[in-house]
Amino acid sequence: MIPSAFRYRRAQTVAEALDLLRQEPEAKLLAGGQSLLPLMKLRLARPGTLVDISRIDELRRFEVRPDRVVIGAMVRYHQVLANAELRARLPLLPQAVAVIADPQVRHRGTVGGSAAHADPASDLAAVFLAADAEFVLQGPQGERRVQARDWFLGPMMSNLQPDELLCRIEIPLAWPPHQAYLKFPHPASGYALAGVAALVSRAPDGSVEDVKVAVTGAGQLPFAAQGVTAALKGQTLSRQLMREAAERGAADGTYADDGPYSAAYRQNLARVMIERALAKASES
């Protein structure tokens, strides 16, 4: 439970952090440390240098603008939970954050750290995909913007390059508050066995103007359940229809057996949770 030896450097600016990333051998950025430090203590991660970015002011920006929310990479989960405006404008996000781990983790862990870590069962992955988050990176070549659909490249592998820093995440505030995040936690780890983010907007006649659903945990990677959108857009919601949409949406994922959880079980769970999240979002 003691990490192997490493150097510790604290960056005061984004530019300095990028320099350190380039100069230090096997450098790794340290944000909230809630995933990286346990891995280091188990010696599953052995960075040569930790570059602490927690004091960089720019990364602590947190603004709810008329059209979007801007979340600096160092914004901690509990700050998201405490933001009343966000609860009104993008309730999906605090709903998801509220079920991440435990209060200790929520006071240390950061939104950016979770995004960069790219755990395929992270709750926020579903939110990023459903709400079309945009990741703003800084690297040696300057700024780069990556859409959520291009972010999750593999398990624990995001689009972030080793010499880049995730500065902030921007999420458009384009949806009415018919939103829900529903999670079926793994009984041991508490990670999502299936976590579903659902956003619904209704036309004046009550039919579905648009709907977006994304699933985390169940599949090998978090995915947008586009089948749901295809099945429901323009339709009037019914239980039967939501069931069919959930079926099609779950089919968008790729599933694998994992211990006691067979691929068939995981896909079923994705379907059930999509259906329930749709029902909850449309009722909200």
Partner 1 sequence: MSQAVLGARVQRKEDARLVRGRGRYTDDIRLPGMLYAGVVRSPYAHARIRAIDTRALEKLDGVVRVYTGQDLKGRLGSIPTAWIPPDSDLKTVEHPALAYDKVRYVGDGVALVVATSRGVLEDALEAIRVDYEPLPAVYDQLAAMKQGAPQLHQDAPQNVALHWRAGTDTEDAFRRADVVVRRTFRQQRLIPNPMEPRCAVAQYDEATGELTVWATTQNPHIHRFLMANILGMPEHKLRVVAQDVGGGFGSKIACYPDEVLVGYAARDLRAPVKWTETRSEHFLVTTHGRDHVDEVELAGTKDGRILAVRVRAYANLGAYLSTAGPGVPTILFGLIVNGAYDIEAASSEVYGIFTNTTPVDAYRGAGRPEATYLIERMIDSYAREIGMDPVEVRRRNLVKKDQFPYTNPFGLTYDSGDYHQTLDLALKTLDYDALRQEQAALRQQGKYLGIGFSTYVEMCGLGPSQVAGAVGFQGGLWESALVRVHPTGKVTVFTGASPHGQGEETTFAQIVADRLGVPLDDIEVVHGDTDRISMGWGTYGSRTTAVGGGALALAADRVVAKAKRLAAHMLEVPEAAVEFEQGRFYPEGDRRRGVSLQEVTLQAYLAWNLPSDLEPGLEASAFYDPTNFTYPFGTHVAVVSVDAETGEVRLLRYLAVDDCGPVINPMIVEGQVHGGVVQGIGQALFEGARYDQDGQLLTASFLDYAMPKARSLPRLETLHTVTPSPHNPLGVKGVGETGTIASTPAVVNAVMDALSPLGITDLPMPLSPPVVWEAIQAARQSGGVS
**Under rule CB under 8 A, residue 142 binds partner 1:** no
Sheet of strand 208-216: strand arrangement: 179-185, 192-202, 208-216, 223-224
147 vs 262, which CB is nearer to partner 1? 262
CA distance readout (Å), 160 to 86, 102, 106: 26, 27, 23
85 vs 258, which CB is nearer to partner 1? 258
**Under rule CB under 8 A, residue 4 binds partner 1:** yes
Among 12, 15, 22, 43, binds partner 1 (CB under 8 A): 43
**Under rule CB under 8 A, residue 272 binds partner 1:** yes
**Under rule CB under 8 A, residue 42 binds partner 1:** yes
Question: For residues 51 and 164, what is the distance between their CA atoms, to the nearest angstrom?
Answer: 12
**Under rule CB under 8 A, residue 5 binds partner 1:** yes
| Sign of the CA dihedral running 38, 15, 111, 200 | negative
Among 45, 61, 201, 261, binds partner 1 (CB under 8 A): 261
46 vs 55, which CB is nearer to partner 1? 46
66 vs 187, which CB is nearer to partner 1? 187
Nearest CA among 130, 132, 127, 126 for reference residue 145: 132
Among 13, 220, 268, 284, binds partner 1 (CB under 8 A): 268
| Segment 167 to 226, residues that bind partner 1, using CB under 8 A | 184, 186-190, 193
CB of 188 to partner 1, least distance (A): 4
CA distance readout (Å), 274 to 99, 113, 152, 211, 218: 17, 26, 20, 12, 11
66 vs 260, which CB is nearer to partner 1? 260
Among 1, 67, 142, 204, binds partner 1 (CB under 8 A): 1
Question: For residues 119 and 242, what is the distance between their CA atoms, to the nearest angstrom?
Answer: 28
Residue 175 forms beta bridges with which residues?
none
**Under rule CB under 8 A, residue 239 binds partner 1:** no
Question: For residues 88 and 78, what is the distance between their CA atoms, to the nearest angstrom?
Answer: 16
Scanning 134-142, 169-177, 232-240, 254-262 for contacts with partner 1 by CB under 8 A, the matching segment is 254-262
**Under rule CB under 8 A, residue 262 binds partner 1:** yes
Question: For residues 195 and 222, what is the distance between their CA atoms, to the nearest angstrom?
Answer: 9
Instruction: Give the per-residue SS3 of 203-252.
Output: CCCCCEEEEEEEEECCCCCCEECHHHHHHHCCCCCCHHHHHHHHHHHHCC
CB of 155 to partner 1, least distance (A): 14
**Under rule CB under 8 A, residue 44 binds partner 1:** no
